[in-house]
Each structure stands twice: as structure tokens, then as C-alpha cells.
């Protein structure tokens, strides 16, 4: 459960940025060895970073500089996206046993 004002929940410095590449596995490994490692979101099959939207151009430059073939870079910033980011990570929903 998360509580707060919409402005705080949708803080642009905490945007989720989804990156799709020709080889996501290789890209994740390269990002883990870069300055972007601390922003990578664990527990997702795709590449997501929680970061300031204003840093997206630098991320793109760095990915291209690493020789990564980008397919898309999508910053998301809505209550629905925020909710999904909280509820789709492992460990957020406990199983119920009767």
C-alpha cells in the first residue's frame, strides 16, 4: 500500500523508463556495469529504470555509445503506470492459503 499526494507519487524525478532493444539480456548486463545500475528495476522481464525524465537523453546517448540497437525508450508517468509498477514486482502479493 502506498499513500501520498498525487504530485509526490508522480514526481518526475522518479519516472519509470522502459527500454526495448534488439537484445535486452545483453543490454541489461551492460547497464549493470554502468552508472545506470542503481536505477535498474529488478524483478522485471524487460528493462526498466526509475529515473528523472530529464536524464533520458543522456541514457539514450550512453546506450548508443555502448553499441546497443534501441527499438524504443518509453518514459511512463501516470497513476496507472505507478500502480502497475508497484503490483507487478515479485513479493508484493502474498498467496492466500485456506
Instruction: List, in order of start, the domains of the chain with CATH numbers.
Output: 10-87 (3.30.70)
**Residue 85 near residue 16, CB atoms below 8 Å:** yes
* 15-21 sheet: strands from edge to edge: 47-51, 15-21, 70-76
Label residue 3 exposed, middle or buried (CB < 10 Å: 0-12, 13-18, 19+). exposed
Cell readout for 38 is: 542503481
Percentage of the chain surpassing pLDDT 70? Answer: 63
pLDDT tens per residue across span 47-84? 999 898 899 999 999 999 999 999 999 987 655 555 66
Q: Say whether pLDDT at 35 is over 80.
A: yes
In this structure, how many other beta carbons lie within 10 angstroms of the beta carbon of residue 63? 21
Cell readout for 78 is: 501516470
To the question of pTM greater than 0.75 for the whole model, the response is no
Over residues 82-94, mean pLDDT: 57
Q: Residue 82's pLDDT is what?
A: 57
**Residue 39 near residue 75, CB atoms below 8 Å:** no
| Mean of pLDDT over the chain | 79
Amino acid at each position: 500500500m502506498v499513500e501520498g499526494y498525487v504530485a509526490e507519487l508522480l514526481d518526475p524525478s522518479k519516472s519509470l523508463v522502459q527500454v526495448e532493444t534488439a537484445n535486452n539480456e545483453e543490454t541489461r548486463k551492460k547497464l549493470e556495469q554502468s552508472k545506470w545500475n542503481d536505477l535498474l528495476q529488478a524483478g522485471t522481464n524487460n528493462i526498466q529504470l526509475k529515473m528523472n525524465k530529464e536524464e533520458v537523453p543522456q541514457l539514450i546517448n550512453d546506450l548508443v555509445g555502448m553499441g546497443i540497437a534501441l527499438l524504443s525508450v518509453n518514459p511512463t508517468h501516470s497513476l496507472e503506470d505507478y500502480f502497475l509498477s508497484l503490483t507487478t514486482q515479485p513479493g508484493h502479493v502474498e498467496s492466500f492459503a485456506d
